[in-house]
Each structure stands twice: as structure tokens, then as C-alpha cells.
């Protein structure tokens, strides 16, 4: 069954990938001469933005329809996030405003004319494959007492007893959008690509993680060694950079709240389509989480700026203040109980 699905998967990706390239580039691929580095490789260097208002998974009412109609494009854009508005800010369990006003701070509107109904292009319904039995969706967020240590989700936490109760991005271990893989999120959807003959570096703005990808054909590290961002090895297939990453440590999720990364194999394909456009496609093969592969395509747009250091650890006063606030609340609660005892209550 899985083999048959994978054959369909490969055929569909070719179809969807071609359609996306035509819609993004605005001209036939043969009309664009890909710039080259001094080593003759396609030049992917620069700062690239991967913001998107297209949802990762396709709303079910679209079925297997991959693109919006002209009427739908004219009428509205699909919301990628539901984080609250100026009139209705998102609240935590304790009633405090728990997230940014997305009318002001969010950066989730895509650049360009991507009018697809989902970033996921395989399975054909644009949604994640069925989960392996026993796998749960633990997306994180601001609701406490969800999940257990080790906390594998990126945002939110299970409590405030210590830093280990918080999500991975709050602990400055991993950014919540650059994984790897690149998944558009609320803000800081930027990466910088740097190349030399034997390496490609993908520097993420979020938590300033630098992923160094070897192109020299050397074997991957021993399977017993596990890394937060996995072990990435790349090669060129014509004008496409193909990167295979494995040896994840299992302390992150496979994608968007599902499973763990321990057995995930991530394959990324990066192709330059035009002066301002990269086609970024990723495939996750994670038999411990999903019953089939999944593939998504995210357009990247070149932006005329430099990438500034995020300085997560260096400036992470939010973590200290969060824990300090929790301790102060506990002290106040104890003080109130003692005062009530003296008052005979």
C-alpha cells in the first residue's frame, strides 16, 4: 500500500511543482538564466522571506482542489493564523493577554501571487497523512498542563516551575519556523543563504540558527549521534539543491504538533525560478508519526535587506521574567492564605 501511495506521490509532486513554478515565475523556465557562482553552481545567495497567508493544511471544503478560483482570489485571502485582533486579543487561561496583536506585529502575509489552497501538496487532499496509532497532536500554545517533559513543542509550555517547562523557542533551543523545515509562522520568516564550493549555509533569523550543509559527498555522521537540527547533506541535481537531513534527536516534533523527529528523514529541494523567487519544497518521511510521506511547497521571495542578529539567548529576559512572575504569584498566594488564617477565615 505504501509503495503504491509513493508512486502517486511522486507523480503528483511533479504536477503541482510545475504548476507552482509557472504561477510564481510569470515566465517560462527556459526564459530565465540562473546566475552562477564562481564554482559554476546555481547562485541561491541572499536574504529570502517565506511568509505566507496560505494555510499549511487545506481547508476540507476545497477537497483536492489545489488553487483558488478567480472569484475566491478577488473576494478574500485565506487566513493562516487566528491569533486575535485589536478588538478581541487572545487570552491565557488566567485571563491575561497572551499573544501579540496580529494586526500590528504579525508578519504572515505572503509576498507574490501564491494562490494555492494549502502549502501541503501531497497527500492529494492537501492535509497531513493519517497518524500512526498512538500519536497525538500536541501543538503547544498558552494553555498550561498540556503534555509532559520533555516539552517538544515550540511555543507555550506545560507550566512555569522552571525553564524546562517552556517550549523550545522560549528556551532559545530552536526557532519555531525554520526547523528545519521552513514553515511560515507569525514573524521572523527570513533566512539568509550563503554558499561556497563545498558548503551551503542556511542562517535562520529566528534564534539565529545556522545550518551548515556539506556538499562534498562525505558520509553522514554515525546514526548514534543525534542533533537538534539533524545532520544535513546536500548535492546538486541540475539547478536544484537537494538536501537530506536525518539524525534528529527526537526532542522536537515531526511537524506542527505531531509526533517526534527521531525517525524523520527530511528532503528539501531548492530551485531558483527568477531574480526574486526560489521554489522551496520539502518532503517528510517519518514512519513513526505518519502512515505516508507528506510534501509541501513554500515560495521564497528575495528581500533587499540584511539579516540582523536575533540574539535569543543574549536578550532572553522574557524567560527570567516569566519565572520571576510565577514565583511572585506563589508568594502572594501564600501571603494571602497566612493573612486569612490570622483573620480566622
Query: Has residue 24 got a pLDDT over 70?
Result: no
Peptide bond into 180 cis (omega under 30): yes
- The three-class DSSP label of residue 56 is coil
Q: What is the mean pLDDT of residues 125-153?
A: 85
pLDDT per residue over 190-220, tens digit each? 999 999 999 999 999 999 889 999 999 999 9
Pairing of strands 190-195, 46-49: antiparallel
Q: What is the mean pLDDT of the chain?
A: 84
Stretch 284-310: mean pLDDT: 95
The C-alpha atoms of residue 93 and residue 257 are separated, in whole angstroms, by 20
pLDDT > 90: what percent of the chain? Answer: 59
State residue 242 phi and psi, 5-degree precision: -110, 125
Cis, bond preceding 123 (omega within 30 deg of 0):
yes
CA angle 298, 173, 137 (to 5 degrees): 60
Q: What is residue 139's predicted lDDT score, i.e. its pLDDT?
A: 82
Grid coordinates given for 59: 481547508
pLDDT-wise least confident of 113-117, 122-126, 144-148: 144-148
Judged by average pLDDT, the poorest of 70-79, 149-158, 204-213, 229-238 is 70-79
Q: Is 240 exposed, middle or buried (0-12, 13-18, 19+ CB in 10 A)?
A: middle
How much is the average pLDDT of 269-283?
Answer: 97
Give the SS3 label for residue 285: strand
Residue 156 is predicted with a pLDDT of: 86
Amino acid at each position: 500500500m505504501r509503495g503504491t501511495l509513493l508512486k502517486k506521490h511522486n507523480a503528483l509532486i511533479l504536477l503541482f511543482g510545475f504548476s507552482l513554478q509557472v504561477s510564481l515565475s510569470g515566465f517560462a523556465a527556459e526564459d530565465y538564466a540562473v546566475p552562477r557562482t564562481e564554482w559554476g553552481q546555481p547562485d541561491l545567495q541572499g536574504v529570502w522571506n517565506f511568509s505566507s497567508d496560505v494555510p499549511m493544511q487545506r481547508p476540507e471544503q476545497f477537497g483536492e482542489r489545489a488553487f483558488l478560483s478567480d472569484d475566491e482570489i478577488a473576494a478574500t485571502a485565506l487566513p493562516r493564523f487566528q491569533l486575535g485582533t485589536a478588538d478581541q486579543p487572545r487570552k491565557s487561561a488566567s485571563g491575561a493577554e497572551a499573544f501579540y496583536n496580529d494586526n500590528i506585529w504579525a508578519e504572515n502575509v505572503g509576498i507574490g501571487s501564491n494562490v494555492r489552497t494549502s502549502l501541503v501538496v501531497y497527500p492529494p487532499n492537501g492535509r497531513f497523512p493519517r497518524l500512526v496509532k498512538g500519536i497525538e497532536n500536541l501543538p503547544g500554545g498558552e494553555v498550561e498542563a498540556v503534555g509532559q517533559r520533555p516539552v517538544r513543542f515550540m511555543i507555550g509550555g506545560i507550566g512555569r516551575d522552571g525553564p524546562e517547562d517552556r517550549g523550545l523557542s522560549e528556551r532559545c533551543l530552536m526557532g519555531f519556523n525554520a526547523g528545519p523545515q521552513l514553515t511560515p509562522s507569525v514573524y521572523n520568516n527570513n533566512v539568509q543563504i550563503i554558499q561556497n564550493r563545498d558548503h551551503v549555509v542556511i542562517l535562520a533569523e529566528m534564534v539565529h540558527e545556522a545550518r551548515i550543509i556539506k556538499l562534498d559527498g562525505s558520509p553522514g555522521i554515525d546514526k548514534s549521534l543525534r542533533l537538534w537540527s539533524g545532520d544535513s547533506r546536500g548535492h546538486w541535481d541540475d539547478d536544484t539543491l537537494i538536501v537530506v537531513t536525518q539524525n534528529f534527536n527526537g526532542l522536537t516534533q515531526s511537524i506542527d504538533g505531531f509526533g517526534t523527529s527521531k525517525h524523520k528523514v527530511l528532503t528539501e529541494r531548492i530551485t531558483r525560478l527568477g531574480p526574486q523567487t526560489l521554489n522551496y519544497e520539502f518532503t517528510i518521511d517519518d514512519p513513526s508519526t505518519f502512515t505516508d510521506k507528506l510534501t509541501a511547497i513554500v515560495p521564497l521571495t528575495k528581500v533587499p535587506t540584511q539579516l540582523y542578529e536575533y540574539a535569543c539567548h543574549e536578550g532572553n529576559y522574557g524567560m527570567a521574567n516569566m519565572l520571576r512572575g510565577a514565583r511572585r504569584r506563589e508568594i502572594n498566594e501564600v501571603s494571602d492564605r497566612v493573612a486569612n488564617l490570622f483573620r480566622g477565615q
